[in-house]
Amino acid sequence: MKYLITGGAGFIGSHIVDCVLKNGDRVVVYDNFSTGKELFVAHNLSNKNFKLTEGDVLDTKKLTSAMKGADFVFHMAGHADVRGGFDDHSVDHIQNLEATQSVLEAMQKTGVTKIAFPSTSSVYGDATVHPTPEDYPFEPTSLYGATKAAAENYIRAYASYYDWQAYIFRFVSFVGERYTHGIIFDVLKKLKKNPKVLELLSDGTPKKSSVYVADGVEAIFKVIGSTRDRVNIFNIGHQDILTVDEIVDTILAAAGVEIRKKYLGGERGWKGDNSFVYLDGRKLKKLGWEQKYSFQEGIRKTVAYLKNNPDLLD
């Protein structure tokens, strides 16, 4: 098999690259390095089954050329800063929706018929059913969630047009080695800037779940190896639920820091944030997947990685 992975030098994408190569398959990483790091794929540069192409997903012509001969596309590139869409109303539209259509157009031109796509728990918005199942309606509260939902529908339409097979994964946040954004990252950066007071955007009460990256990537490949529907949609979430306060306390303990916390907001951290994220994982569990690492273990592993790679915080 030959895989093309957009965003393959990013946090989750680079772990998928490792799994593909471990299975003896070939991979082309296509990344513009806006958030991806050569550090994350450097250990694969000498592998004869690995190829690195620097390019923007929005450059459909270059992407199409890179995709020739591929059997399967992991479209992992995208804008991942949920908060950013409030200040910049175009970034999610361009980087999530237009970029996805560019990938789909390249697939149609090159004859690739299989795609995996990282959607998000944010498509559910402030869900009133917990844990939230895959058939819950789209109710996004952010442009990030809205464009991911739209991208899902684009993928469905192309799959219907051309008899493709699509795998759509609605993630909670992933944590672990090569982590480059999110609450752990933000807290550690704030500690560097001000070691006396830690400002939190919420009142500490929002409830979140998160998955350690090795567990999440294992879930992705479990689904791809087990399901054969035209469009396969799966939540990937943890059964552990922590408040923001509990998450921050775990980060501080892992970092060996005691600090006063100052709460700046209410039950949500920012416009578009969701105060309770808890996904129904029964569909995935029926395939035999179980998370191996607790939420707290994932946090501790992430803190240890960032402490050993402090340049990432800059």
CATH (domain of 194): 3.90.25.10
pLDDT above 90: residue 164: yes
- On whether both 13 and 36 belong to a single domain, the answer is yes
Q: What SS3 state is found at 311? A: helix
Residues 6+ apart with CB under 8 A from 161: none
Confidence of residue 270 (pLDDT cuts 50, 70, 90): confident
The per-residue pLDDT for range 42-99, each reduced to its tens digit, is 999 999 999 999 999 999 999 999 999 999 999 999 999 898 999 999 999 999 999 9
- On whether both 152 and 216 belong to a single domain, the answer is yes
Residues 6+ apart with CB under 8 A from 169: 116, 117, 118, 119, 219, 220, 223, 233, 234, 235, 236
Separation CA 301–CA 160 (nearest Å) = 41
| Residue 286, domain member (yes or no) | no
Count structural domains, the chain. Answer: 2
- On whether both 217 and 103 belong to a single domain, the answer is yes
- On whether both 186 and 223 belong to a single domain, the answer is no
pLDDT above 90: residue 268: no
- On whether both 92 and 163 belong to a single domain, the answer is yes
Q: Which amino acid is at 217?
A: V
| Residue 194, domain member (yes or no) | yes
| Residue 283, domain member (yes or no) | no
Residue range of the domain that includes 117? 2-174+212-236
Residues 6+ apart with CB under 8 A from 276: 126, 127, 130, 206, 207
- On whether both 61 and 153 belong to a single domain, the answer is yes
pLDDT for the residue numbered 38: 95
| Residue 120, domain member (yes or no) | yes
- On whether both 231 and 271 belong to a single domain, the answer is no
Give 96's DSSP letter.
Answer: I
- On whether both 38 and 157 belong to a single domain, the answer is yes
- On whether both 76 and 14 belong to a single domain, the answer is yes
pLDDT for the residue numbered 266: 87
pLDDT above 90: residue 109: yes
The per-residue pLDDT for range 229-245, each reduced to its tens digit, is 999 999 999 999 999 99
Confidence of residue 269 (pLDDT cuts 50, 70, 90): confident
- On whether both 126 and 142 belong to a single domain, the answer is yes
- On whether both 145 and 100 belong to a single domain, the answer is yes
